[in-house]
Amino acid sequence: MDYVDLPTAKTARGVRLVVLDGVPSPWSQAAKGLLQLGDIPFVCVRSSARRPEAWRWTGCDNAPVAVYDDEPPRTGWAEILALAQRLAPSHTFAPREATDRAWMWGLCHEMMSERGLVWCRRLDIVHRSLVETDTALPRAAAQYLGAKYGYRGADDMVHVRARMREQLELLASQLERRRSGDWTVFADGVTAVDIYLATALETFLPHAREDYSNVHPVVHRAYVDGDAALNRWLREQTPLVEHRDHVFAHVLKLPISL
């Protein structure tokens, strides 16, 4: 995986992936992981609010954005997954059995879609930054993210945090059922849900700063900081922690490139 400047990306062919500069966004990390899993060649382009040129190119002020050849940019997690499957047809990104396949898509939706696990985690960081602590994001950044992604104040956070715990318990129970077998979520081997789960857990229990390249220290601190009770519970969920470690050891690799 290489990082290139915007002029190089514009003239290149194949997959160009626009990602946030210095931010281990679970959506961006998962998109990279899917392409790596399928052995699909790609290059990354860094973007940020201070460097919006890539956003003007894609027409989207968000990340990740996948641009393949001259096709329209893809921004949603499911669109990017569909592109990866198309470009690597020999790799199975989803279980072969129909029931497992439907279950996998449901689990991915619970993690990656609006009000899913990582969306809720982002709202949690926004809330802590604005209300509970001065050790998360700068206030201006939290206000920007809150307005963009639907932060509704303290009353809503009761439901958001309950939803995060419910989703994490669902994922832990799915892995617990597989403990007698391999470490993957489904018996077919590594599928998309394994990539999404590992990158989602990274926002709760991140690797050390030295395991990242180019990570923004404020963002890393915001990931480390969190509800003490939830963090204790997560560390006790051995299947979840072991799963995250296996995915980073065998697919995503360390250090985490940003």
Residue whose C-alpha is closest to residue 234's, from 197, 195, 209: 197
| The predicted structure's pLDDT at residue 51 | 78
* CB 44, CB 54: distance < 8 Å: no
Residues near 182 by beta carbon (within 8 Å), at least 6 away in sequence: 189
Q: Which of 15-19, 30-34, 134-138 has the lowest mean pLDDT?
A: 134-138
DSSP 209: G
Quote the tokens at residue 257: 């490139």
| The predicted structure's pLDDT at residue 128 | 93
Quote the tokens at residue 241: 């922690």
Helix axes 117-127, 98-112, angle to 10 degrees: 10
Beta-bridge partner residues of 65: 18
pLDDT at 8 over 60: yes
Region 225-237: mean pLDDT is 89
pLDDT at 135 over 70: no
Across the chain, what does the average pLDDT equal?
92
What is the model's pTM? Answer: 0.95
Residue 228 confidence class, pLDDT cut points 50, 70, 90: confident
Residues near 147 by beta carbon (within 8 Å), at least 6 away in sequence: none
User: Pseudo-torsion of CA 160, 119, 30, 113, nearest 10°?
Assistant: 100
